[in-house]
Amino acid sequence: MRSDSDLLLDVLDAIEAIEKYTYQGKERYISDELIQVWILHHLQIIGEACRTIPKKVQDSEPLIPWKGIIGMRNILVHQYSAVDSDLVWELVENELPDLKKNIERILNGC
């Protein structure tokens, strides 16, 4: 069984993997299928790690939208045909930076 810190590190590592390619901007993301798949894969990792983080940890961190993250993972895995590239880009651009800061904050307190 993986520790809470390991799961949080998985989230952080996946965010950093996404950042490797998102710096090139939305146009590059939209035009490059490999970048799209890379980002979707790492979003799935984030969602799966968050799904596995114990409820007591989730409850202690109300700033993190755990249910939304897990819900997005479920859509990516089970309703992949409904994935909207613009919505994914908005999430990457607007939500991941805050998630990264919160995960780093938690890890620094561990």
Q: What is the pLDDT of residue 110?
A: 61
| Active site annotation includes 41 | no
Q: What is the pLDDT of residue 54?
A: 95
- The pLDDT profile of the chain, 110 residues, written as one tens digit per residue, is 789 999 999 999 999 999 999 999 999 999 999 999 999 999 999 999 999 999 999 999 999 999 999 999 999 999 888 889 999 999 999 999 999 999 999 999 86
CB 25 within 8 A of CB 88: no
Token pair 């961190």 is at which residue? 61
Among candidates 20, 21, 15, 65, which has minimal Cα distance to 42?
A: 15
Q: What is the pLDDT of residue 80?
A: 80
| Active site annotation includes 42 | no
29 backbone dihedrals φ, ψ, rounded to 5°: -60, -45
Q: What is the pLDDT of residue 90?
A: 95
Q: What is the pLDDT of residue 109?
A: 87
Q: Is residue 108 part of a domain?
A: no
Q: Is residue 76 part of a domain?
A: yes
pTM for the predicted model, two decimal places: 0.93
Contacts of 34 (CB under 8 A, 6+ apart): none
Q: Which of 41, 42, 51, 73 is catalytic?
A: 73
Q: Is residue 78 part of a domain?
A: yes
The token duo for 102 is 């919160």
Total domains in the fold of the chain: 1
∠ CA 29-34-35 to the nearest 5 degrees? Answer: 35
Q: What is the pLDDT of residue 1?
A: 79
Q: Is residue 107 part of a domain?
A: no
Q: Is residue 91 part of a domain?
A: yes
Q: What is the pLDDT of residue 22?
A: 93
Domain that holds residue 62: 4-102
Distances in Å between the alpha carbon of 19 and those of 35, 45, 71?
A: 11, 14, 21
